[in-house]
Structure 1
Amino acid sequence: MLPPWLPAQAVQVVLAVTGAPAPDAVNGELLRRWGSSEVWRLSYGLSSVIVKRGTDAQAGEAAAYERFVVPLGLPAPELLSAADGVLVLADVGRVTLEQEPAADDFLAAAELVARIRSAPVDGPSEFPPARVKELGARIGRVDVDLDPLVDALDRLHRDAPVRVVHGDFVPKNLVSDGTRWTVVDWPLAYLAPHLSDLYTLVRDAATFGHDREPIVARYVEAAGADPFLVDRQLLVGGACFCLLALTFLVEEGQRTIPGSSEWIDPLLSELTGLVAELS
């Protein structure tokens, strides 16, 4: 069964890639359905592809592929087709780091962050210091003084290069085929000098009982980075992640993701703690 929203162009790509003789021969497996996105695995025999439809914050993935993923050769699924807001992507595996959160695989994910950060880019930062106060005002519930974050982000723009930030580098978006790991879901990608991707990786590793230090050390080694600069990039990146996540929840997430309003207070507390460390 194919999703009813699949455009004709995408159907033809699915048939060509899977080798299915007709649309009704394709097996459809719903992987995710939220208010702003829907993801399916479509298969015939041993061949399969992923199809995605995104709206609101999830609508920018084709643009992210055009701006970053394709020209920089980033570790993402191959984009097979993009039309009418629907993407057809290569199926890069059935196991996520969330499903099998082994310590060694978190180390492999740190190497992916280093690989993404190693790609030089043209263009200014899309998270300048002024954006801190802008997002704080949009959230409307931030009680902490954000000036230390503004100052730290300003210094970071002088000390670290602008690179691609995935924006949602969490275990559910790290997929393995048993041989290699790939990063999926790129609609939130942007340019900045901080390390929010590494921050969210070590943050989630801790929830699975893993020590953060080996993961950070693996990144430092793979990236050839200054560990003292990385420490600052992590703190700033964590705070920037919290601001973006809170803005999304306040403006969209509470409407599109059931139960997401419960994430707001913990994120506000997390933001407060990170800013305090920067003070």
Structure 2
Amino acid sequence: MGALVLAEGATFAPPGAESFELPALFGGVTKPMLLVVLSVVIIATYFLLATRKLKVVPGKGQFVAESIYDFSRNNIAREQIGSKDFKPFVPLVFALFTFILVNNLYGIIPLLQFPTMARFGFPVALSVLVVYPVYHFVGFKRHGFKGYFKKELAPPGVPGPVLPLFALIEFAEKFFLNPLTLAIRVFAAMFAGHLILAVFTLGGTFLLTETSGWALKPVSLVAWIFAIGMTFLEAFIQVLQAYIFALLSAGYIGAALASEH
């Protein structure tokens, strides 16, 4: 067994948070910004082409498009919002699911290899500027200003002595924590997954190219095998996180519309 000997001047700098701070490509525009715009183009183009000539017996493209739409409509929007109220919110749920899905999947696509939801500003923008206003707006519209606050903060059955504390906790959750945790879930999963893949990939490359002894060079192969396995796991998590974001968003809307707390 030979000792681990590094090539002269070689040091391994593990990837960290700084790896997500990408330089501007031109005029202050960064790679994540371009990927977000590209995702909109990809989604719009795909669904326009897939549904341009609808057939009774769908081809593969139409089948996938219809399956994604049906999943967003029936398995997310209808289930969480209710069969009475869900239809106006199907486009929002569908858009959230597909948008986050494509931006997550960037993390395992060669050359792109960057999940844009790993930049905290993007999920925060979706949560705070899109989902948060929608579910509170529909709540106020359905129940009125006073009725909505009463439903959320002082539902029937809460004992009087604990009502102030209950109302304070519910207010913090509904108006501050929900949008923040909605964004944190997808951000943390994409950030951690991308970081793990980078560690295994770069670590394996370092062991192969920057060590003088042969003892640990085979470990580079093990690291790459782990990276491949983690890529499949990350793909599953990317799809799952898109589903969870859309599911919780629909759930918040459904809760805001509900007659009872």
TM-score, with length taken from structure 2: 0.30
Structure 1 or 2, whichever has the larger Rg, is: 2
Structure with greater strand share of residues: 1
Structure with greater helix share of residues: 2
